[in-house]
Amino acid sequence: MSQVTALTHAEKLLQAEGIHVPSRQQCLGKLVVPFGQHEHAPFRWLVANDVGYMKYILDRHRTEVTNPQRKGEMGNQWVKDYLTEYAESFPQVSVVLEANIDRCIYGQKSFEDHTFQEMWELYCQYSSQKDRPEKFSNEQREVIQKAHSSVKRWLNTPVTHITSTQMKRFRKYIYDKEQQRLTSTPRCDPSLWPSDDAELIAASQSVEDSLKSQHSLSASQPLKQQLTSRGVSSSQTSGT
């Protein structure tokens, strides 16, 4: 029941069972839940037998951690932190835990009631408010800039230096969102271009779609001939 000795004690138990160099995951699996309907059940038993109850514990734990009205220490916080780490070390269990991650509460200064999703949306607006400040009010720009600085602080902090499980989750959430945005390749919207360029962009996209859909064309056919066959004149493509 001591955070200082729990993992060391678990390691010794595993060594006594013949596992000479136990992994951290194995040591965490040896720890037990000291409360609730499965009191004294090892973490590994919960993962194998009652993921629903474990999710209930961890969902409540996140709510407690991010509650700005909370006063004093939370009961068994370190046990629940370790249980979160153990559960998330299994991808199939992590998927269950992440199902509602968009609605997790950020809970940091100035954004105590904002969800992960809301922080991501503010973070994404940072470039837009710099490039097109006239589209945002002074108040909106201030909030976006503060949110961007707050999110960047966690992204620039090595995960090994973050003690809060919730903020580790948030850091990973933003990185995953960034990765999704980088790997996606949305089509250009011609309406966002100046009027002189919009027609050219639309024509270029039409050509690209045709090239993708018509695999029967010879790869050696000259590009100019391909464009002409699709009704795009050289005047439309000049300057591309």
Question: What is the pLDDT confidence band of residue 173, given thresholds at 50, 70 and 90?
Answer: confident
Is position 221 within any domain?
Answer: no
Same domain, 96 and 109: no
Give the tokens for residue 58.
């961890």
Cα–Cα distance, 113 to 90 (Å, whole number):
29
Whether 209 maps to a domain, the answer reads no
Q: Where are the alpha helices (DSSP H) in the chain?
A: 3-16, 24-30, 43-49, 51-65, 77-88, 91-97, 116-124, 126-131, 138-155, 165-183, 195-213, 223-229, 234-237
End-of-domain residue from the set 185, 204, 225 = 185
List residues bridging with 32 in a β-sheet. 42
- Does some domain include residue 224? no
pLDDT at residue 228 tops 60: no
Answer yes or no: do 88 and 108 share one domain.
no
Claim to verify: residue 163 and residue 69 sit in the same structural domain:
no
- Asked whether residue 10 is domain-assigned, the answer is yes
The CA–CA distances, whole Å, from 3 to 42, 78, 146, 154, 167 equal: 15, 7, 36, 25, 20
Within 10 angstroms of residue 181's Cβ, the number of other Cβ atoms is 11
**Highest-pLDDT range among 34-38, 73-77, 86-90, 162-166:** 34-38
214, part of any domain: no
For residue 160, the enclosing domain spans: 104-185
pLDDT tens readout for residues 116-160: 889 999 999 999 998 998 999 999 999 999 999 999 999 999 888
